Amino acid sequence: MPFYTDQMNRTVNIPEHPQRIVSLVPSQTELLVDLGLEERLVGLTKFCVHPQRLKKQKTIIGGTKNFHFDKIEALQPDLIIGNKEENYQKGIELLAEKYPVWMSDISTLEDALEMMKGIGEITGTTAKAKELIHVISLEMASLSQRNKGSAVYLIWKDPVMAAGTQTFIHYMLGKAGFTNLVQEPRYPELSMEDLKNLSPDFLLLSSEPFPFKQKHIDEFAAHLPQTQVQLVDGEMFSWYGSRLRYFREYVEGVPF
């Protein structure tokens, strides 16, 4: 079996053209389908919502951070695809003792495109992966360079958590024309006082993982009268698979 190096610099022994694939990451599940691998995909998480039909047709192995090892065992996968941030270390280590586990580690667009190239190589879909990379690269290159102003991007409520540096969301905010005011790494907690002191032009409330709604817009707007508070599609800013080809269209269609 060929050896491959994943994005965590792990050497993984993967059979040629694996036939029983388990995906532990929603955006990578969608990518596998778009690479023509739906028939080979046997297991996925409860958060793998695109395409919608999959959850009725494939085995749900739990969440991204709580795997049902017995269900994975029953599937007898010859490839598991995960991600450093979205999955948990101990679970991945246990799976890697039994199965080939290929891990992505993504904080930039370049990382995302490299992930697509790598998954294309390990699944025998290199040509389709190259085509997808080309399309996404063209879309990103044609993004408007207009500076939209400063922003804080919230991913959670109670406690309030924002996307900081060293995250894919931070990178995509920059691609969308925003200056992220949260300069702490990862996902720091913020108080309302912190938000007032930052005084962003935009407070962006993500649709996931916390399902922000209109009532949350109203709540934050009452405290931040000079800030435009707006719901945004979290998939567009945090999914690093084939959904990236829609990012330019989305950003240009939203009245930021």
Residue 59 DSSP SS3 = strand
Q: What is 149-253's CATH number?
A: 3.40.50.1980
Domains of the chain, by residue range, sit at 3-139, 149-253
The answer to whether 119 and 129 have CB atoms below 8 angstroms apart is: yes
Would you give the DSSP letter of residue 39?
A: G
- Please check whether the two domains, 3-139 and 149-253, share a CATH topology: yes
Query: 3-139 has which CATH code?
Result: 3.40.50.1980
Which tokens sit at 72?
A: 């994975």
C-alpha 41/C-alpha 171 separation (Å) is 30
pLDDT number for residue 145: 85
**H, E, C per residue of 182-246:** CCCECCCECCHHHHHHHCCCEEEEECCCCCCCHHHHHHHHHHCCCCEEEEECHHHHHCCCHHHHH
Alpha-carbon distance 5 to 202, whole Å? Answer: 40
Nearest-10 Cα torsion for 64, 70, 75, 78: 70
* pLDDT of the chain, 256 residues: tens digit per residue: 799 999 999 999 999 999 999 999 999 999 999 999 999 999 999 999 999 999 999 999 999 999 999 999 999 999 999 999 999 999 999 999 999 999 999 999 999 999 999 999 999 999 999 999 999 999 999 998 889 999 999 999 999 999 999 999 999 999 999 999 999 999 999 999 999 999 999 999 999 999 999 999 999 999 999 999 999 999 999 999 999 999 999 999 998 8
How far is residue 44's CA from residue 41's CA, in Å, rounded to a whole number? 8
